[in-house]
Structure 1
Amino acid sequence: MATPRPFDAVLCDFDGVIRFHDQTELAELERAAGLAEGATTKVVFAPEVGLPALLGQITVEQWQDAAEAALARQVPPERARALVTAFMKTPTRVDEDVLGLLRRAQAHLPVVLVTNATLDLEDDLAWLGLAHFADEVVSSARVGATKPSLRIYEIAAERAGVPAHRCLFVDDRMENVEAARALGMTAVLFTGVPDLEAALTPLLG
């Protein structure tokens, strides 16, 4: 008798699990501006600046303008512009090991991306060659809800076509993992490829 599957869909975060950003240049610019490393990111994702972009209420260009204005309270406007531009153009890479595991999982069940993202997500996926990778993509900017709001998890399960308690959810932020668990999902905090390997072992063997 075959062993029952432990779950019927994989819901996976994008940034911090599949895509990673190299902020070396940004950190150098922050030091030159007398700012602590991470100061730009903190401003860019402050709720009053970043949330409208992640909810699809403003464009990335409008988000950049808002971030520059907010950062200009700490540094001269030209430095604020350079810092935010560096943030927006941060070099990225895709973890091929993670993609390989997810592609193996797709042979058995749907894989759905669930991500807090801007209206540019589709362009980003296409640029990375991932436009047709996931079975479904649930972007906060398209559905009007961000993680850890329970609604975005409910939408993802609906798109996968399975009940929430039959979903495996993978994310690199604990608050997002805890929200998934609150809906009855099997949820894993991603700190590296071994976490995903361990989560998928019951499925892949």
Structure 2
Amino acid sequence: MSPHARGVLIDVGGVLVREYLPAVATDWGRRLGIPPAAFMAALYEGNDSGVLVGRVSEDVWWDTVRERLRTGPDVIAELRRDLAARETWEEALVACLRGLRMRGVPTAVVSNTWPGLRERMSDGGLVDIADHLVLSCEVGCAKPDRRIYEIALRLLGIEPARALFIDDVPRNVAAARVLGMAGHVHTGTVETLARIEEFTDSR
């Protein structure tokens, strides 16, 4: 890929996948008799240095969650199925990414995620939406660590100044801008589509 090409790097959770965790926390907190914040802490506290960067397997992490929630394996299995079932992709953004690939625009998904995402994307026929999937659990670092952005840029073969990074977390966008990339904080699909079009159509 030419280093002078313009490319798009985009997040999954809260961008390509609609935000669903608050509803999960409310529903499961009610079911388990704990506040939503306590449920979220059981699910994610400490995962940044473990499962999120591939140092702990997903199954081992779920054992930790089970112990924190003081529940059995059947409930955890149901919770895992529920989380996967609520993962709804933004069709307009998926179509946009596929269109960019057809036009030869370099694209990468850059996500802080647990190992199951690639399999779910494969099962859903979504692994082809970008040239590269740069997943924190596979590359050993997570946003806002500069290394994950550098890995994506290297895979795409483009310079930071020719890249647009999209995320719903402002600090992740800020980290991309420090590296010289253009950044866009996702707040809605319409606005993000417009920013992608503006960036990729400019010279």
Report the Cα distance in structure 2 between the residues aligned to 1:149 and 1:12, rounded to whole angstroms.
Answer: 15
For residue 62 of structure 1, what is the aligned residue in structure 2? Answer: 60
For residue 93 of structure 1, what is the aligned residue in structure 2? Answer: 88
Whether contact under 8 Å (1:50, 1:63) holds in the other structure is no
Report the Cα distance in structure 2 between the residues aligned to 1:100 and 1:28, rounded to whole angstroms.
Answer: 31
Report the Cα distance in structure 1 between the residues aligned to 2:19 and 2:27, rounded to whole angstroms.
Answer: 15
Report the Cα distance in structure 1 between the residues aligned to 2:81 and 2:69, rounded to whole angstroms.
Answer: 14
RMSD: 2.5
Whether contact under 8 Å (1:55, 1:141) holds in the other structure is yes
Larger deviation: 99-108 or 177-186? 99-108
- Identity in percent: 27
Whether contact under 8 Å (2:28, 2:39) holds in the other structure is no
Larger deviation: 13-22 or 60-69? 13-22
Residue 50 of structure 1: CA displacement? 5.0
Q: Which amino acid aligns with 1:157?
A: L
TM score, norm. by length of structure 2? 0.84
Report the Cα distance in structure 1 between the residues aligned to 2:121 and 2:160, rounded to whole angstroms.
Answer: 26
Q: Report how many residues are paired.
A: 194
Structure 2 alignment gaps of length 5 or more: none
Q: Which amino acid aligns with 1:27?
A: T
Report the Cα distance in structure 1 between the residues aligned to 2:60 and 2:38, rounded to whole angstroms.
Answer: 20
Residue 204 of structure 1: CA displacement? 4.8
Report the Cα distance in structure 1 between the residues aligned to 2:56 and 2:189, rounded to whole angstroms.
Answer: 34
Residue 105 of structure 1: CA displacement? 2.3
**Which structure features the higher share of helix residues?**
2
For residue 71 of structure 1, what is the aligned residue in structure 2? Answer: 69
Superposition pairs of residues 185-204 of structure 1, within 5 angstroms: 185-202=181-198, 203-204=200-201
CA distances 1:62-117 after superposition (whole Å, capped 9, x unpaired): 11011222333xxxx34x97368425631221110111222222214111010112
TM score, norm. by length of structure 1? 0.83
Larger deviation: 29-38 or 176-185? 29-38
For residue 137 of structure 2, what is the aligned residue in structure 1? Answer: 141
Q: Which amino acid aligns with 1:158?
A: R
Structure 1 alignment gaps of length 5 or more: 1-5
Distance 1:122 1:113, change over 3 A: same
Whether contact under 8 Å (1:29, 1:83) holds in the other structure is no
Whether contact under 8 Å (1:20, 1:93) holds in the other structure is yes
